[in-house]
Structure 1
Amino acid sequence: MKIGIHHRKGSFSDRWIEFLEQKNIPYVILNAFDNDIIKQIKENKVTHFMWHFNQNYFEDMLHARTLFRAISQVGIKTFPNEDSYWHFDDKVAQKYLLEALDIPLVKADVFYHRNEAEKYIENASFPKVFKLKGGAGSINVKLVKTKEQARRIVNQAFGGGFNAFDSKAIFKDTIERFSRQKSLHNFLRIIKWGFKGIFVDQQYKVFPKQKNYIYFQEFIPDLKYDIRLIVIGNKCYFLKRNTRDNDFRASGSGMLEFAPGKFNLEAVNIAFKAAKKLNMLCVAYDFIFDANDQPLVVEISYGFQPYVYDRCLGFYDQNLHWTETQVNLEYEIINNFLNEISLIQ
């Protein structure tokens, strides 16, 4: 066994490399973007290849799936696997996937033609939640309160389209977070995102416009929080995210709680069962609860922000029992990956 890793500082690979060195497992750091990457993988006799690719990097989204698919054809195991990455950062793809697998989700409607979208608006009740396919931290999420507002969004969707990243929204969120949690770190983030919000980071400009589709999700009123559940193998980790002030969005708020309080544990049960159906070694779910306290999936992802979850206090097992312990999710990912835990048994 020899592990190939595409390394980017600040990603999962920091700790993957640390884990491999501690366990004396042979590995090699490779640049996935090298023209001769396939030759390098073969010459180094790589058996497993790992890359924490990121939705904020256009080159990652352009290349990662292609490389993973190619090397899997010759028996190289990848993290993430194809069942995990094909729908990554694509809320529309996830809608169809979750519906196909009968996983309870917040109802969403997608249209690819203007006339169908317009008919939908005339017959729908508002508010609705408008989203683009991609984007993390609620940056591409808006509450649509009226039919007239929905019509304007449809005109833009089937006209000039939307920027894939709304840097001004990121800047605004950073300001709001700083107002709640004054710190030097957040001040420096404001300076950073201020430039991005005003000038728009060049990195984001290369993403194509989002157009010729429209995605509306049902609005669940009076939400005060959502929960992030991360299933890795036979463990489920918990994080609560409180909504912004006078806002329905929890993702990206920075208002986090790690001690699992009282909530419907059926969400944990759904998370474990869905991971098997999805054939994902690691899957992060965003859950909300409807008026009847029934858990509904908002979206899923194989990846998430590193280090944040070090503050988790433990995990649930498949019997819904809680164990308090120190948490290192990156270690859990690579340990499960190398032990090839089957999620479909």
Structure 2
Amino acid sequence: MKIAIHHRLGSFSAAWIEYCQDNHIPYKIVDAYKDDIIDQLADCDIFMWHHHHAIYKDTLFAKQLLYTLQVAGKKVFPDVNTGFTFDDKVAQKYLLEAVNAPLVPSYVFYSRSEALEWIRKESFPKIFKLRGGAGASNVRLVKSKRQAVRIANLAFSRGISTFNRMDHLKDAWRLFREHHLSWNSFCKELVRSVISTDYAQKHGREKGYVYFQNFIPNNEFDVRLIVIKDRAYGMKRMCRKNDFRASGSSNFIYDNIDERTLKIAFNTAEKIALQSVAFDFIYDELGNPLIIEMSYGYGTKGSSKCKGYWTKDLKWHEGTFNPFGWQIENLING
């Protein structure tokens, strides 16, 4: 069995390549952006591509290519079930509701009048989100009806940019002050905050819908759990200072993970038949865990320091492990 891997710096692909080399698994590097990608894959049984939400050309065709190859009989990562809600919080809402997963109450509207009517009846604060974005980007705390009305009016007129320059600059400054970002890296982010991103320039503004979630106060952290078939690992991500958001904080705790979140994560991943997924949890006012979001793609900075992993029977396995190897093993053996 031969594996084709689209290689991108900073993605899962380096770990996949290393695993194949270490375990003498036949593989080859392919270029998904080339017109002859189908021919490149002719002698391969598996295609793996860690496509990225902020690379505009990935968003144009990655899911379609992977689906096409899956229909044609090849094994792919991510497959349709795993990847179709990637970077789409609205799709995640529908999917998690459909399988009765415990989701933070979420609301989406496709007309200005319905959105304004809902805002009129609701209490605030609420969380506003664009359907795409990671690391808590495009996520705002909406403190009042008046602010929510302004957002709805904007969403159904000129639209909302996927890149918030001021938030980007604030995050860069925070990471620099907390020594998570070098001076050179901070300067690069400063320039980016002025000229925007390639994705935002090409994608344009989000418009024609508005999406809110309930704001649940007093959460000092969220729980990030990554499930790869019958194994899982994760951590607590502490909230940023003076902020409700945990994603992007770079402050992790690896102890005392709630067993209930593990059960929910394993059960939900199995219901949807996901190859690999990261679930983020917070707790409601009664202490019940609720899913905020899910994603097949996730950062590895925090998870690489996990002290072990759980199997589906909730048994803890202490020691180092290779989740990217698990992804390959599951494709070969599945």
- Normalising by the smaller structure, the TM-score range is over 0.9
- 2:261, 2:289 within 8 Å by CA — same for their partners in 1? yes
Structure-1-length-normalised TM-score: 0.94
Distance 2:301 2:145 in 1: 41
- 1:173, 1:253 within 8 Å by CA — same for their partners in 2? no
Query: Residues 55, 22 of structure 1: CA spacing in aligned structure 2 closer, same or farther, 3 A cutoff?
Result: same
- 1:309, 1:329 within 8 Å by CA — same for their partners in 2? no
RMSD: 1.3
The one of 273, 280, 284 aligned to 2:278: 284
Q: Which range moved further: 88-97 or 331-340?
A: 331-340
Distance 2:63 2:185 in 1: 31
Deviations 1:202-259 (A, max 9, x none): 34311231111000100001110001000112211011111111211111111222x2
Structure-2-length-normalised TM-score: 0.97
- 2:85, 2:92 within 8 Å by CA — same for their partners in 1? yes
Aligned residue for 1:312? 306
- 1:7, 1:30 within 8 Å by CA — same for their partners in 2? yes
Question: How do residues 1-345 of structure 1 correspond to structure 2 at under 5 angstroms?
Answer: 1-42=1-42, 45-179=43-177, 181-182=178-179, 185-257=181-253, 259-261=254-256, 263-340=257-334
Distance 1:312 1:165 in 2: 31
Post-superposition offset of 1:115: 0.2
Distance 1:254 1:339 in 2: 35
Q: Which range moved further: 299-308 or 137-146?
A: 299-308
Post-superposition offset of 1:192: 1.4
Deviations 1:266-299 (A, max 9, x none): 1100100111111111110000011211110001
Q: Which range moved further: 98-107 or 234-243?
A: 234-243
Deviations 1:68-109 (A, max 9, x none): 111112201100010011111000000000000001110001
- Three-state SS of the structure 1 residue aligned to 2:182 is helix
Distance 1:186 1:89 in 2: 28
Deviations 1:176-197 (A, max 9, x none): 1222x236x4323211110110
Distance 2:321 2:182 in 1: 25
- Three-state SS of the structure 2 residue aligned to 1:59 is helix
- Three-state SS of the structure 1 residue aligned to 2:278 is strand
- Three-state SS of the structure 2 residue aligned to 1:4 is strand
- 1:117, 1:214 within 8 Å by CA — same for their partners in 2? yes
Distance 1:311 1:224 in 2: 21
Distance 1:315 1:330 in 2: 14
Q: Partner amino acid for 1:191?
A: C
Distance 1:150 1:242 in 2: 27
- 1:231, 1:275 within 8 Å by CA — same for their partners in 2? yes
- 2:55, 2:199 within 8 Å by CA — same for their partners in 1? yes
Q: Partner amino acid for 2:139?
A: V
Q: Partner amino acid for 2:146?
A: E
- Three-state SS of the structure 1 residue aligned to 2:200 is helix
- Three-state SS of the structure 1 residue aligned to 2:203 is coil
- Three-state SS of the structure 2 residue aligned to 1:118 is helix
Aligned residue for 1:343? none
Q: Which range moved further: 320-329 or 83-92?
A: 320-329
Distance 2:62 2:296 in 1: 14
Q: Partner amino acid for 2:167?
A: A
Structure 2: runs of 5+ lacking an equivalent: none
Deviations 1:139-173 (A, max 9, x none): 10000000100010011100111112224312211
- 1:310, 1:327 within 8 Å by CA — same for their partners in 2? no
Structure 1: runs of 5+ lacking an equivalent: 341-345
- Three-state SS of the structure 2 residue aligned to 1:300 is strand
